[in-house]
Amino acid sequence: MNGEEPFYKNRRVLLLAAVILGSVAAIMVSYSSDDGLRIGNNLKYGLDLDGGSWLQVQLQGAIAQVDADPGKIIQAEFARLLDDQRVRVENASGASVTFITSKQTTQKTIDSLGFGASAVSDDGMRVTLQTNKELFIQKYLKNALNADVKYIPGRFPTYEIRKEVTEESLNAILQPVDGKVVPPFRAGVTKETRDETKKRLENKLNPVALKQITITPIGDNYLLIDLPGVSIEEARKLALTPGKFEIRIQVKGNETEHVLYGDMISGVGVPQKEKRDAWGVSFELTDEGASVLRDAAIQYGAVKDPDAHHLFMYLDGQYVYDAALTPELARNINTIPVKGMTATTGGGEAGQERAKELQLHLRAGALPVQVKEAGSGEVPAPLGQKFKEQVAIAGLIALLLVAIVVGLRYRQPSIIIPMLSTSFSEVIMILGFAVISGLQLDLATIAGMIAVIGTGVDHLIIITDEALAGGAMPPDKVYKSRIAKAFSIIFAAAATVLVAMLPLIIFMDSSALRGFAEITIAGVFIGVFIARPAYAVIIQGMLTKATDQKYVDED
């Protein structure tokens, strides 16, 4: 190095050493408040290498342009809600609708129904709503389908129905209010709903899975779920159960009315024993949810006669719990919204297990839409272990073949050892990146690593050949000029790889292709900005030392 500091003190070499040590620590060391410092393998393996199952689920819904008569909607809806078949619409034009009811009502009751701001006459029988046609249609569809319906603003009134429905059945529902579906009609959901479903499924599945679960969108209507370490039966139970929690209130007899869904639940407690050793799960409503529950309890008389108006709770349409309001709760809810609730699931181990499942669904919230299985598969654990062994063998053979080729080409330990060590260090750094970023290792990502090793060795050969272009180690100034030329080639090649990989990340939904692209891009960056510059310094130092030693031996 011509009197300069030793190559192992160069900042590029020190950076390489620091990143390698950091990668080893990321791979081998972990810390948690429960277990403290732990030494082990922190790498995460996908289905190919660890076994497990995968599910492709279809999101159930429809997007349609809908038109209907707002006057007939008001007449039909308020005849049902007020239990008054003599509701008569007096005026329905623009943003105002006026109707007459034969039963007295109050502004508070009308407002609680969610059709817009209201004005009620002194005798309580003439109601004026300040609202719009789109809201009327949305409420009508929501009540008729018992599903969440979202209005999509635009040139034409469009609605996202978060439930499986056909164009024919939708037209049949709209017929009593002179409504119809205006083409086009599309089965599916919006991208926003798909992303919301993905997020809630991740929150729901990851806390209970043995391994990190990945969910990949495929188009707007499908999600691909990888569940390492989970059997196909358990995968179906976890992923295909929407977790739709609903509270309904008893109106009369066995008839109930919807109050709220699980998306109005803001917090969930841990399963614990309640009164009489029955297990239960406490949960807290949002401000809006508490207000909705209070309005419903007042409207239907639960605060005055709790025993005749039980609150019913359902999970995925299945009965979970029902009870009357306690006298104390009835008094409180009559004056202020009550946010704290508890759902009891029964006694014994069965009640405890149901409480755990209920906590899971409450914590995740209701899925925006129902999902159904569109495809599935399973990789048995022994087969995954076999793949893992085969991949390890293939990786070792790849490194061995590279060592043989490099050895035959250069036949100098001062070149072969740094080159192979640099390639191996890149593998360590890429694995460290995988741990830090949470990337799972599968056959595609392993293939990406092998590709990176191959291109990395190519770059190292370019650096070495440029350094030895004259057959011997050149002076420092000439060496730096040649290395600059080599890196211009390397940067151009790396840019080509990046450009080729970016479309896989941006446009491809397949998790395998995306993982391949991510690991390849990470490997290129690690190699170009950390490993290759350090190798250029190391090879200069090693060759200079070897040349100096040769001259000493000749003397």
- Residue-wise pLDDT tens digits, 108-118: 778 777 787 88
Asked if the model's pLDDT at residue 551 lies above 50, the reply is no
| 394 and 455 co-located in one domain | yes
CB hemisphere CA count around 252 (13 angstroms) = 4
352 and 406 share one domain: no
**CA-wise closest residue to 214 among 186, 239, 247:** 239
> Is residue 25 in some structural domain?
yes
User: Looking at the domain assignment, is residue 229 inside a domain?
Assistant: no
Q: Are residues 533 and 393 in the same domain?
A: yes
- If asked whether residues 400 and 499 sit together in one domain, one would say yes
Distance in angstroms (rounded) separating the CA atoms of residues 346 and 343: 10
Q: Are residues 369 and 274 in the same domain?
A: yes
> Residues 458, 521: one domain?
yes
What domain range includes position 484? Answer: 7-50+380-554
Last residue of a domain, one of 330, 355, 377: 377
pLDDT in tens, 256-281: 888 888 778 766 777 787 766 778 77
Check which CATH number belongs to the domain holding 91 and give it: 3.90.1150
Domain for residue 231, yes or no?
Answer: no
Report DSSP state, residue 206: T
- In percent, the amount of the chain with pLDDT more than 90 equals 13
Which residue, chain included where needed, has tokens 């599935």? Answer: 376
In a domain, 76, yes or no: yes
Is 430 part of any domain? yes
The number of domains in the chain is 3
Per-residue pLDDT, 2: 47
Q: Tokens 């070792």 identify what position?
A: 396
pLDDT in tens, 194-228: 888 888 788 777 654 445 677 888 877 889 888 87
- Non-local (6+) Cβ contacts of 365 within 8 A are 200, 203, 243, 262, 263, 265
Best CA proximity match to 534, nearest among 20, 16, 23, 24: 16
- Does 396 lie in the same domain as 347? no
- Co-location of 369 and 437 in the same domain: no
> Which residues have a Cβ under 8 Å from the Cβ of 188 and sit 6 or more positions away?
59, 61, 62, 63, 220, 221
Q: What CATH number is associated with residue 326?
A: 3.30.1360.200
- 234 domain-assigned: no
Q: Which of 151, 170, 190 is the last residue of a domain?
A: 190
- Choosing from 377, 410, 436, the residue where a domain stops is 377
- Within this chain, do residues 314 and 169 fall inside the same structural domain, yes or no? no
pLDDT on residue 303: 86
Predicted confidence band of residue 515 (pLDDT cuts 50, 70, 90):
confident
Distance between first and last Cα of the chain: 20
Looking at the fold, whether 311 and 357 belong to one and the same domain comes out as yes
Task: Summarize pLDDT for 455-469 with one digit per residue, the tens.
Answer: 888 888 888 888 777
Same domain, 503 and 431: yes
pLDDT band with cut points at 50, 70 and 90 for residue 160: very high
In a shared domain, residues 403 and 548: yes
